[in-house]
């Protein structure tokens, strides 16, 4: 059965994280946009947020409208010179990211821990 | 080892048939019911996931573009096993709407770079996903009834045929 999309945001060294759960479909539009706004604006450090992590570990379902929402987030992030990475995608949705070429523009990590540790490492080296 | 199901060639067997109200989100009901129907037919997990996505996208198209989100007009779904082929037929009553869309020109193939640059709308992935998920996709339309046929072989690799 459909599960309403929910999103929580937090700041980690080197990135803002948006943890998604439920269904990423047309009903997720306002939730995802709002989460992106919170993620990139909540930060009060000296440097702006340069990377946004979309974590899909708790996402059950992504449809073509959800793919369009992710494209919109990526387009906005690119316009703002931010990088988008993704974690926690199932093998099936990794395949869909490959077919749509989203994975050419969004680096994929197997899980959030891998993404956060690599981004923290890069932030420490910067 | 999983036994792959099949019927005698030319003797298709209907496994399920049901209808759904044309309401947004009901594609989830279609994919879950079809997944339950075919779960013992020997489809590898990755191919079952592809079939579920194709069923969901075809049902969304039927709900939105065929039946115009009018709940009282049902989407019909039929699941058949024909030899090694699982065939899903998803029908709506929007033959005229689909014909009008076709007359307006085929939708452009989705191009992510164009979408990121604003040259294409972010949407428009549905048929692209369906074509890439199943072994064959066919469409039949008469004046009113529009049906999309999805074929997934129970064994072997995908060999896409798109008509």
CATH number of the domain that residue A101 is part of: 3.30.750.24
* B33 shares contact with chain A (CB less than 8 Å): no
Interface mutation target, options B61, B125, B131, B160, chain A, most CBs of A under 10 Å: B125
Instruction: Provide DSSP, B24-65.
Output: TTTHHHHHHHHHHHHTTS---HHHHHHHHHHHHHHHHHIIII
A4 touches B: beta carbon within 8 Å = no
Instruction: Indicate the number of domains in chain A.
Output: 1
Q: Does A98 touch chain B (CB under 8 A)?
A: no
In whole angstroms, give the CA distance from residue A78 to residue B143.
45
pLDDT by residue (tens digit) across A5-43?
A: 999 999 988 899 999 999 999 999 999 999 999 999 876
Range of the domain at A28: 6-118
Q: Is residue A123 part of a domain?
A: no
A124: distance to nearest CA of chain B, Å? 30
Residues 6+ apart with CB under 8 A from B102: none
pLDDT value for B108: 78
* Closest-CA residue to A39 (of A17, A58, A7, A20): A17
Domain positions in chain B: 13-162
User: How far, in Å, CA of A74 to CA of A36, rounded?
Assistant: 10
The tens digit of pLDDT for each residue in A76-120 reads 999 999 999 999 999 999 999 999 999 999 999 999 999 999 888
Closest-CA distance, A68 to chain B, in angstroms, reads 5
CA nearest neighbour of B87 among B4, B17, B32: B17
pLDDT at A47 (0 to 100): 78
The 3-state DSSP class for residue B47 equals helix
Q: Do A68 and B27 touch (CB under 8 A)?
A: no
What span, in angstroms and rounded, lies between the C-alpha atoms of A38 and A43? 9
* Separation between Cα atoms, residue B106 and residue B109, nearest integer Å: 9
**Chain A neighbors of B24, CB-CB under 8 A:** 26-27
How far apart (Å, rounded) are the C-alpha atoms in residues B94 and A67?
25
What are φ and ψ of residue B7, in 5° steps? -110, 170
Q: So what's the pLDDT on residue B105?
A: 63
Burial B45-78 (b: 16+ CB within 10 A, else e): eebbbbbbbbbbbbbbbbbbbbbeeeeebbbbbb
ipTM of the complex: 0.90
Q: What is the CATH number of domain B13-162?
A: 3.30.565.10
Per-residue pLDDT of chain B (163 residues; tens, 9 = 90+): 455 667 777 789 999 999 999 999 999 999 999 999 999 999 999 999 999 999 999 999 999 999 999 999 999 999 999 999 999 999 999 988 877 777 766 667 899 999 999 999 999 999 999 999 999 999 999 889 999 999 999 975 444 444 4
């Amino acid at each position: 059965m459909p599960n309403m999309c929910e999103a929580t945001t937090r700041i980690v060294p080197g990135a803002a994280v948006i943890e998604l759960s439920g269904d990423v479909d047309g009903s997720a539009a306002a939730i995802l946009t709002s989460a992106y706004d919170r993620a990139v604006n909540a930060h009060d450090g000296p440097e702006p947020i340069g990377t946004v992590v979309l974590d899909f570990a708790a996402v059950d379902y992504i449809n073509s409208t959800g793919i369009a929402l992710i494209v919109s987030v990526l387009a906005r992030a690119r316009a703002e010179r931010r990088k988008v990475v993704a974690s926690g995608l199932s093998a099936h949705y990794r395949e869909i990211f490959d077919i749509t070429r989203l994975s050419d523009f969004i680096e994929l990590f197997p899980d959030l821990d891998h993404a956060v540790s690599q981004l923290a490492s890069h932030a420490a080296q910067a | 080892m999983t036994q792959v199901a099949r019927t005698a060639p030319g003797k298709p067997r209907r496994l399920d048939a049901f209808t759904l109200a044309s309401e947004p989100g009901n594609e989830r009901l279609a994919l879950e019911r079809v997944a339950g129907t075919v779960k013992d037919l020997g489809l590898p997990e990755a191919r079952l996931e592809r079939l579920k996505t194709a069923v969901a996208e075809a049902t969304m198209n039927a709900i939105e573009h065929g039946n115009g989100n009018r709940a009282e007009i049902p989407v019909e779904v039929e699941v058949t096993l024909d030899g090694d082929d699982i065939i899903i037929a998803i029908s709506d009553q929007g033959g005229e709407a689909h014909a009008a869309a076709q007359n307006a020109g085929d939708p452009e193939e989705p191009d992510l770079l164009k979408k990121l640059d604003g040259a294409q709308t972010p949407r428009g992935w549905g048929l692209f996903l369906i074509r890439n998920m199943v072994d064959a996709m066919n469409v039949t339309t008469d004046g009113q009834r529009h049906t999309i046929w999805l074929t997934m072989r129970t064994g072997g690799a995908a060999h896409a045929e798109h008509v």
